[in-house]
Amino acid sequence: MIPIKGYATFDPLKSCLIGKNFSGDFFKKNIEDTKVSDPLRRIADETEEDYQALEKILKNANIKTYRAEFDEDKFDQDWHDRPPVCPRDHFAVIGEKFYAYQKTNFYGKFLQNIARENLSIGNKTAPVSTAFIARVGKDLFWDVGGRESTQEDIDFFKTKWIAEGFRVHTSNRGYHSDGCFCVVKPGCIVSLYDIQNYTTEFPGWDVLYLPDQSWDKVDPFLKMKKKVDGKWWLKGEEHNDQLIQFVNTWLKDWVGYVEETVFDVNMLSIDQNTVICNNYNKEVFAHFKKHKVEPIVFNFRHRYFWDGGVHCITQDLYREGTQEDYIG
């Protein structure tokens, strides 16, 4: 059985689930138009290459990795099922419990490896995933917007977690928390502006504020933006109308809203002194140096298509640590 534990996003990471896409052959077999199938095959092949590169980084840090297992032939022509590229969207590890309350079509075999006492599966509407929940020891910062959640379901989990000794702070921004701020280590945060009231919720912590990513300076994206409603971008395919129409029609559930995403805050901590990030950012790296954090740059090439960074495409399964009070 896979051990399950997670109290803080910066505790030492020991095991991790990594995303998975359909193979390039899947698109070759199911799409006749090469103007559509060829770029989707390239995305598939390069996404898998990047997963393997990330897996190597984690294994070099003595972190055990897992991947979803599924028969992709069962999903041919069913374009509504987004492949499990971003497991963070589906799951949460809170304390010693693994929560699976989103669609889990691709994870049947994986979930069989989690002991029943560590597994919580259901059909609640509340967004129970660590894309929405930032874990800081005793404190959980949970954004409950963005889904048609009932207050009853939200209260169900709040009551449960409070009974387990957590303090639950809710917000209603409607965005993934891991696309808004990152608690890198105690005392160190990277954030977009106006996300949290850090003065009261993280008193005395050093917060680096980043401006929104200016897509207005990315000329190739601007050529594609209106055609895709700002939802996705594939460099070099700005004028491929066949691909754009196919994705907008059939793969609209696969893409997000990349125009609103700032990947500089979407990071995966290996421990309090090491963090994996999507790219070099001068201000962020200076903040890391100030707090004695070593960055590892991992380039997930098609994050602008999948609308997912390194935190999105992983789900930590076991981190050392306890329900420590880091905030007071």
What is residue 71's predicted lDDT score, i.e. its pLDDT? Answer: 87
State pTM to two decimals.
0.93
Per the structure block, which two tokens stand in for 171? 């917000």
CA distance 179 to 18: 18
Per the structure block, which two tokens stand in for 114? 């989690």
CA end-to-end distance (rounded Å), the chain: 35
What is residue 212's predicted lDDT score, i.e. its pLDDT? Answer: 62
Query: How is domain 13-319 classified at the architecture level of CATH?
Result: 5-stranded Propeller (3.75)
Domain ranges of the chain: 13-319
What is residue 147's predicted lDDT score, i.e. its pLDDT? Answer: 67
Amino acid at 308: G
Helix (H, G, I), strand (E, B) or coil at 123: coil
What is residue 127's predicted lDDT score, i.e. its pLDDT? Answer: 86
Amino acid at 60: N
Strand partners, 155: none
Q: Which residue spans within the chain are E strands per DSSP?
A: 13-18, 64-67, 91-94, 97-100, 119-121, 133-136, 139-143, 167-171, 181-185, 188-192, 206-210, 268-271, 274-277, 294-297, 314-319
What is residue 234's predicted lDDT score, i.e. its pLDDT? Answer: 94
Query: What kind and span of H or E run contains 31?
Result: none
What is residue 221's predicted lDDT score, i.e. its pLDDT? Answer: 81
Q: Could you give the C-alpha distances from 328 to 106, 109, 141, 196, in angstroms and in order?
A: 40, 40, 14, 17
- pLDDT beneath 70, residues of the chain: 76-78, 102-103, 146-148, 194-196, 212-218
